[in-house]
Chain A
Amino acid sequence: MSVATLSRGNWLERGIASVGLRDANTNLRLGAVIVGLWVLIALLAPWLAPYDPIAQDMSARLQGPSLAHLFGTDNFGRDILSRVIYGTRIDLKMGILGVLFPFIIGTTLGAIAGYAGRWIDAALMRLVDVVIAFPFLVLLMAIITILGSGLTSFYVGLALVGWVSYARLVRAQVLVLKTSDFVVAARSLGFGTFRILFRHIVPNCIAGSIVFSMSDVVLTILAGSAISYLGLGVQPPTAEWGVMIKEGQNFIAIAWWITTFPGIAIVLLTLGFSLLADGLAERFGLRQS
């Protein structure tokens, strides 16, 4: 048994090495390939999708997967495959924009808090504590409800809630790095505080945040789908995976494909970002491979 496993392992390793995946890092490459494919799908959606994603065809309602409709159709006769493809555009954008704003805001505030110290640090970190004390999704929903449903509110809500993780991550690193030797050297070159903080300290502590942002994309896509599922995000008839799952759930007993395919899409996209996160962590030396 063990001999068989070993030789198989060797065979696998040699296979991977021959494709050139081994030397770099398998997670990173695999993740990049998956995410890259999704980006391609999003960009090429008009050419890839066989049907208009919101065109209804009452003569072809609730059809199972077939050659004409590979993923089947929903209760309005819309092609699920086309809707999944078009949904990629919205979900990918949600994931990326929904992380970008918190990333920038959190990194900046965390860096300032860590470097300035004293009351600025105390004030910002108490604010972080307050935001973290609320359950993430509940707070997000509350903010979106106040601002009115829609994607813009979703981004604003995420920016208000999501920055805290980045702020904490970056602050902790800045606290360590601000007394480090290369910062003393930068000061000895007469650089100002702003340059030292954002050109020398932040680039040195950003790796952890980048890794975290990849897993954050996963959470954000799930949150976006959840928010849309609850009717607070993307509005029907726009094709978005969360909306599709919600619309399909009434028919789950008779038409499983309506919810299943967007569900698989969410799993595959988030898997890609998770692998990317793991791969980057390995690459930056934040974790042993």
Chain B
Amino acid sequence: MTLLTVRNLSIGVSGRLIVEDVDLDLRAGEVLGLVGESGSGKTVTCRALARLLPRGQLHIASGSVRFNERELTRLSEEEMRKVRGVEIGMIFQNPSSHLDPVMRIGDQIAESVHYHEGAPMAEGRARAVELLRQVGIPDPAQRLNAYPHEFSGGMRQRAMIAIALACRPKLLIADEPTTALDVTVQAQVLRLLLDLRDRLGLAILLVTHNLGVVAQTCDSLAVMYAGRVMERGAKRELLRAPAHPYTEALLKCQPGAAKSAALLPAIPGQPPAATAFPEGCRFHPRCPRAAALCRERQPELRPLDSERMAACHFAEPVMSAAS
């Protein structure tokens, strides 16, 4: 069953579009990785799904977000508040700054239960103990009374996950949840997310710029560049045989991808600023395969086979060359 369907989502800021025509599909119990360089529009897309774009600056220009049989873009703010927190949980890149520094961890978990389900705070705290145990915090009953600054970085991220899961959401949007953590803790948090997915049937939208994270955790992938989805598909096939030169280039930049290189290869050039997207394909100035057609016409995201879609005029040759 498809839980989340995003179609042609575009996000505008003062007359320009910084995210254009994003399509995403996410089934219950699935982990979808949203990959791209910094500034490619991943975070903004996530915020838009929960309608949390900063007011008066960014707005959803067009497109549809269907979640659990409902069109989120048409809900009132009141109805949307019930979706957030209850059906969609969010966790963020920097757990230290996303927790309320002067509120006890237990209260932060219980608060959401109290607010959305009308349960007394005591009952919320009881559930908080259970949640803290689920996310692997030792001695949860004691930790309930701790403040965020008494937790380590990894524990804070676990606490944030517990808060996001307090009302048993169906979808967890994880915006670079491991970026601020060191590598061993990263692996633990990712394992925890997968574990929760298995136990709770949670769907996870995992935003990351780390392909290693993607390879470990995701079922399917969407690669974003300059505000557009370049390629979508199942993880295994996509990583094995990318159909878009950008994905191909990203994979080459992974440590260990090149056999003997002393220096890690990099994609030449810079990603374009949102104020100056190039004509035609947005990746063409940096693309090794760019042809005249790429400068003139923007390729649409088109299906290559049953699962794979790519936005490249030369997707088929790229894919067959890779495999």
Interface residues of A (CB under 8 A from B): 179-182, 184-192, 195, 199-200, 203-204
Instruction: Please judge, given known A-B contacts A188-B84, A191-B81, A200-B103, whether A180 and B52 are in contact too, CB under 8 Å.
Output: no
27 A-B residue contacts at CB 8 Å? Answer: A179-B54, A180-B97, A181-B97, A182-B98, A184-B92, A184-B98, A185-B90, A185-B92, A185-B160, A187-B52, A187-B84, A188-B50, A188-B52, A188-B85, A189-B115, A189-B164, A190-B80, A190-B86, A190-B116, A191-B111, A191-B115, A192-B81, A200-B100, A200-B103, A203-B100, A203-B102, A204-B100
Instruction: Please judge, given known A-B contacts A179-B54, A181-B92, A200-B103, whether A189 and B97 are in contact too, CB under 8 Å.
Output: no
B99 within 8 A of A: yes
Chain A residues lying within 8 Å of B160, measured Cβ to Cβ, are 185
B112 within 8 A of A: yes
B163 within 8 A of A: yes
* A188 to B, closest residue via Cβ: B90
From B81, B86, B98, B116, A185 is in contact (CB under 8 Å) with B98
B191 within 8 A of A: no
Interface residues of B (CB under 8 A from A): 50, 52, 54, 80-86, 89-90, 92, 94, 97-103, 111-112, 115-116, 160, 163-164
Contact (Cβ within 8 A) A189 B84: yes
Q: A185-B160, A204-B100 are in contact. List 6 more A-B contacts (CB 8 A).
A: A181-B97, A184-B92, A185-B163, A186-B100, A189-B85, A191-B85
Chain B residues lying within 8 Å of A184, measured Cβ to Cβ, are 52, 92, 98
* A207 to B, closest residue via Cβ: B102
* B87 to A, closest residue via Cβ: A190
A173 vs B313: C-alpha distance when bound (angstroms): 52
Nearest Cβ distance between residue A83 and chain B, in whole angstroms? 43
A181 vs B103: C-alpha distance when bound (angstroms): 15
Nearest Cβ distance between residue B152 and chain A, in whole angstroms? 18
A182 vs B90: C-alpha distance when bound (angstroms): 12
Nearest Cβ distance between residue B285 and chain A, in whole angstroms? 34
Nearest Cβ distance between residue A129 and chain B, in whole angstroms? 25
Contact (Cβ within 8 A) B100 A190: no
A265 vs B89: C-alpha distance when bound (angstroms): 57
Contact (Cβ within 8 A) A190 B82: yes
Nearest Cβ distance between residue B65 and chain A, in whole angstroms? 15
* A183 to B, closest residue via Cβ: B100
Instruction: Please judge, given known A-B contacts A182-B99, A185-B160, A203-B103, whether A190 and B84 are in contact too, CB under 8 Å.
Output: yes
Chain A residues lying within 8 Å of B85, measured Cβ to Cβ, are 188-191
Nearest Cβ distance between residue A204 and chain B, in whole angstroms? 5
* A205 to B, closest residue via Cβ: B102
A191 vs B82: C-alpha distance when bound (angstroms): 9
* A185 to B, closest residue via Cβ: B98
Chain B residues lying within 8 Å of A204, measured Cβ to Cβ, are 100-102
Contact (Cβ within 8 A) A189 B163: yes
From A179, A182, A191, B101 is in contact (CB under 8 Å) with A182
Chain B residues lying within 8 Å of A189, measured Cβ to Cβ, are 84-85, 111-112, 115, 163-164
Nearest Cβ distance between residue B245 and chain A, in whole angstroms? 35
Nearest Cβ distance between residue A50 and chain B, in whole angstroms? 47
Contact (Cβ within 8 A) B98 A181: yes
Nearest Cβ distance between residue B170 and chain A, in whole angstroms? 14
* B80 to A, closest residue via Cβ: A190
A195 vs B81: C-alpha distance when bound (angstroms): 12
Nearest Cβ distance between residue A262 and chain B, in whole angstroms? 40
Chain A residues lying within 8 Å of B112, measured Cβ to Cβ, are 189-191
Chain B residues lying within 8 Å of A181, measured Cβ to Cβ, are 92, 94, 97-98
* B88 to A, closest residue via Cβ: A188
* B78 to A, closest residue via Cβ: A192
Chain A residues lying within 8 Å of B99, measured Cβ to Cβ, are 182, 185
Nearest Cβ distance between residue B87 and chain A, in whole angstroms? 9
* B94 to A, closest residue via Cβ: A181
A199 vs B86: C-alpha distance when bound (angstroms): 19
Chain B residues lying within 8 Å of A203, measured Cβ to Cβ, are 100, 102-103
A190 vs B116: C-alpha distance when bound (angstroms): 8
